Structure 1
Amino acid sequence: MKQAAPATKEQRIMAFLHERVFDPVLASPTASERLKQGIRQTIVRLRQRDAAGMIHFFWSAIVGTERSTRFAALMREAGFDRFEETIDDFRAQFT
């Protein structure tokens, strides 16, 4: 039986973000299509990066660009966890 290769750092980052931020929105029957589309766009952007780029993207979103700040406010208003709620766990695992 073939043993699965260990997950790459990129795969671990995406799994973490899917569990903590992305999937709750995507699976929610109450999340707006705008939120779901924003999550899908974020996933696409992250997949275009290596692990260092993903980590930089995460921290840039926390610091806040105009786009990320507006989107984070929408997520908060809808009751979903944002990158901000995962800071401590993300830092412990990936930086």
Structure 2
Amino acid sequence: TFVSYSIAVNNLADDIYKFAKESNEIVPSKYAEILQANGIEWGYDSMMKADASELDAQCILALLIASLRAERFCDGVLLGFIKNGAVTRWLKRLQELDEA
């Protein structure tokens, strides 16, 4: 099944990659190592269950990048993260950290 994402979702993906490349918070290719260091497996269930309220910006960015990378291997994974509220939780956590 092929999933076609809206312009907003595609823009979000572009913005996440752009931010990751421009910031000192994360090296995009290190997302799996960052997740592992935080006790999170690079898999849908483990990523969905991650308690964002306890994670730092680097790990939240790793979750976002991992969700985008997972989409390359399995159409619709990103949609699952969006529909189940994970992406919103992760973005809210980034906002909290930015405001702190």
TM-score by length of 1: 0.39
Identify the structure with bigger relative contact order (alpha carbons < 8 Å, sequence gap 6+).
1
